[in-house]
């Protein structure tokens, strides 16, 4: 975080570009009704072109640089049993506060207005860094967060290919190993409960399952897919997957779910239909939230190291772990682990 002060444009710059007095800019920002529409439009256009935001007005009075780091969320928070985002946020916040920084949640949506707001914060000097959480980079009007004069780190999504240092877990490897364990127990036909098609995590996790199946000499058709909806519909995915499972003549003997929510709702719905777990079908999920240990039967899950990932991303951003924010080396990978419980069993011979 060291280096020259990238404080961004000043109110005087906006006034100069718009061809008005600084006091006029101040009135337009603080009390828009006191400035005529034509002048206000010129000021708005100049501010947007320069990346100036009203929050930058106090820059000249402020001592030192901003100590605020913003979190860019993938969209509206989803409050299911898979508390990945809240747990990661808690870890990031604790780490930043311990090192003299404050956390700002920049958005609760990823629409055009939110994208513009995020970029205004980044280019306007309000924040000193950004962590992009499980999503793509904000872009608007030809601007991208990748071009902002602040350090940026991606967490739970690999953006190193676009020059953003990234911290991820080993989605593909973890699912590959869990699927291989199921194959070793005699399972030969699988049902994969998918997240949104094209989503980074879904791509990685399905690839891991497929690699294990192919490595065992099984055909790609050994994996059936169900789901494909947004993660906010995870419970619905599990319920619909149980309906899909019940319709199959040659039923899968193991289910691989890309979130705990999917696995829990599948397990509940399947049991209501009379299927026994794990006697009729084994289940393993991804995330490993605490509730998995309290399901009936207890749910086997690939447990993500949420606290460790959040801490590592925050420390990397502020430069306290000795790591250089260098995306050319690829992402930093922190391994997840399979916690095996009673929802998995071998296939009856």
pTM over 0.85: no
CATH of the domain at 221: 3.40.50.2300
Domain end position, chosen among 37, 65, 93: 65
Asked whether the beta carbons of 188 and 252 are under 8 A apart, the reply is: no
89 lies in some domain: no
Domain end position, chosen among 15, 34, 65: 65
Report for 8-17, 196-205, 214-223, 330-339: range of highest mean pLDDT: 214-223
320 lies in some domain: no
Return the pLDDT at 161.
86
99 lies in some domain: no
* 298 φ/ψ angles, rounded to the nearest 5 degrees: -60, 140
Provide the Cα torsion 295, 309, 157, 103; round to 10°. Answer: 110
321 lies in some domain: no
In the chain, how many domains are there?
2
Query: Is the C-alpha dihedral spanning 207, 213, 217, 220 positive or negative?
Result: negative
Return the pLDDT at 124.
87
326 lies in some domain: no
296 lies in some domain: yes
CATH of the domain at 52: 1.10.260.40
Task: Kindly tell me if the per-residue pLDDT of 219 is higher than 50.
Answer: yes
Percentage of the chain modeled with pLDDT above 70: 85
pLDDT in tens, 4-55: 344 567 777 888 899 988 767 766 765 565 578 888 889 888 888 887 765 4
Which of 2-6, 229-233, 284-288 bottoms out in mean pLDDT, i.e. has the lowest? 2-6
Mean pLDDT of 148-170: 90
Residue 79's pLDDT band (cuts 50, 70, 90): low
Domain encompassing residue 60:
1-65
User: Is 300 found in the same domain as 181?
Assistant: yes
Return the pLDDT at 341.
97
Which of 70-84, 187-201, 228-242 bottoms out in mean pLDDT, i.e. has the lowest? 70-84
Mean pLDDT of 249-271: 95
192 lies in some domain: yes
Domain end position, chosen among 65, 86, 111: 65
Asked whether the beta carbons of 274 and 249 are under 8 A apart, the reply is: no
The DSSP-derived string for 65-79 is ---EEEEE-SSS---
Cα-to-chain-centroid distance, residue 12: 38
Task: Kindly tell me if the per-residue pLDDT of 183 is higher than 60.
Answer: yes
């Amino acid at each position: 975080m060291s280096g020259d002060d990238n404080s961004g444009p000043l109110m005087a710059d906006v006034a100069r570009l718009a061809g008005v007095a600084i006091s006029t800019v101040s009135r337009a920002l603080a009390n828009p009704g006191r400035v005529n529409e034509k002048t206000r439009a010129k000021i708005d256009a100049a501010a947007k072109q320069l990346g100036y935001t009203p929050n930058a007005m106090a820059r000249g009075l402020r001592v030192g640089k901003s100590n605020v780091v913003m979190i860019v969320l993938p969209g509206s928070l989803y409050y299911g049993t898979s508390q990945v985002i809240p747990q990661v946020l808690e870890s990031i916040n604790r780490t930043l506060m311990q090192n003299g920084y404050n956390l700002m949640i920049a958005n609760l949506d990823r629409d055009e207005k939110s994208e513009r707001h995020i970029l205004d914060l980044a280019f306007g000097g309000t924040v000193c860094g950004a962590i992009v959480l499980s999503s793509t980079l904000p872009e608007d009007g030809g601007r991208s967060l990748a071009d902002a004069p602040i350090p940026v780190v991606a967490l739970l999504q690999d953006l190193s290919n676009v020059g953003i240092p990234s911290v991820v877990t080993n989605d593909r490897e973890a699912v590959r190993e869990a699927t291989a364990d199921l194959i070793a127990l005699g399972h030969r036909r699988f049902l994969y409960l998918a997240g949104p098609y094209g989503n980074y995590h879904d791509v990685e996790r399905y690839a891991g399952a497929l690699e294990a199946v192919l490595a065992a000499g099984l055909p790609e058709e050994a994996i059936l897919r169900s789901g494909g909806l947004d993660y906010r519909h995870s419970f619905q995915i599990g319920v619909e997957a149980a309906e899909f499972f019940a319709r199959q003549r040659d039923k899968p003997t193991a289910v691989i779910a890309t979130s705990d929510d999917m696995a829990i709702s599948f397990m509940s719905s399947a049991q209501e239909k009379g299927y026994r777990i794990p006697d009729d079908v084994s289940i393993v999920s991804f995330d490993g939230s605490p509730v998995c240990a309290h399901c009936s039967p207890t749910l086997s899950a690939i447990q993500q190291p949420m606290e460790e990932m959040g801490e590592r991303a925050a420390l990397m951003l502020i430069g306290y772990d000795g790591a250089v924010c260098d995306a050319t080396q690829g992402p930093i990978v922190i391994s997840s682990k399979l916690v095996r419980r009673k929802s998995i069993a071998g296939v009856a011979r």
